Amino acid sequence: AALGKSSRIGWIGTGVMGKSMCGHLLDAGYQCTVYNRTPEKVEPLIAKGAKKANSVYEVAKESDVIFTMLGFPSDVRQIILGSAHDDGVLKGLSPGRVLVDMTTSEPSLAREIDRIAGERKIETLDAPVSGGDVGAKNATLSIMVGGRKETFDAVMPMFSVMGKNINHMGPSGAGQSTKMVNQILISTTMVGLVEAMIYAHKSGLDPTNVLTAVGSGAAGSWSLTNYGPRIINRNFDPGFYVEHFVKDLEIALKESERMGLKLPGLQLAKNLYSKLNSMGHNRKGTHSLILALEDMNNIKHG
């Protein structure tokens, strides 16, 4: 059965994404208990009526459904499974409760969490998102979900408050695997895009004319339409941070290796993004990849 408005929600991780997503649940009339390692980051949600918890264990005790939106797989492991020093979320959740991890993390970790949670009769979903901070703010995120279909259906009313394109992808780990497909597509597309733009620049072409000429045919893409003009205007503000993208590509490579897959395009994209990261562009957007290619080719702008 669907979880109703009377369901108590717990939310852990109120950064850029989590703050907006939890805010939509509060606006929709759900009661939320929130926790963040940096306590001041929960203040905007407290102002909206959320209840503040002092530990993840406390959030779990107070919740029927708990959402986590964290940074790295290591954070997911520590907060959900706990450590020698701290009780994790699973310790505090009662049987029959639901845990939804919305962090982009490892498919294998999602399966491990599901197995351990299952022993305690707790349901889990891995539900990473795409659409960045803008999608989180506007409640237009794409949400890719792994786990039991019945659990997905029960949480669907909450997902639909946060996103638009919500898909059940299969068993535990399938949400994370789909997010990796998404990141492989974005990274390798971006390599082609910035190489093409550098080639156009070196050939003496007007880059805006080039976008018009090639953008509507088979060479066109969402990235070209949306990021092409920003690159031309030297606007590298993030839709998605380079440093988070490098983390995602590392997960994709690690999982590929685990499956015995060789993906040379992904490896190349990851190497180029790591170079960009080490150049100090870690807090710029993914489309700033052109800066790494300009550096390799001694191309100076402005």
Q: How many CA atoms lie within 13 A of 250 on its CB side?
A: 11
Sign of the C-alpha dihedral computed for residues 38, 166, 288 and 277 taken in this order: positive
Alpha-carbon dihedral of residues 55, 67, 93, 107, nearest 10 degrees? -110
Task: Give 123's strand partners.
Answer: 98
In whole angstroms, give the CA distance from residue 208 to residue 211: 5
In whole angstroms, give the CA distance from residue 180 to residue 186: 10
* Number of Cβ within a 10 Å radius of residue 199: 12
Catalytic residue among 179, 247, 270, 284: 179
Instruction: Find out whether 60 and 92 touch, Cβ atoms under 8 Å.
Output: yes
Q: How many CA atoms lie within 13 A of 183 on its CB side?
A: 34
Q: How many helices (H) and strands (E) does the chain have?
A: 14, 9
Q: Which amino acid is present at 222?
A: W
In whole angstroms, give the CA distance from residue 148 to residue 233: 46
* Number of Cβ within a 10 Å radius of residue 219: 12
| Token duo for residue 204 | 């003496």
Tokens 């102002």, located at residue: 47
**Cα distance from N-terminal residue to C-terminal residue, the chain:** 59
Element holding 276 (H helix, E strand) = helix 264-276
Q: Assess whether 179 carries a catalytic annotation.
A: yes
In whole angstroms, give the CA distance from residue 202 to residue 96: 61
Residues designated as active site: 179
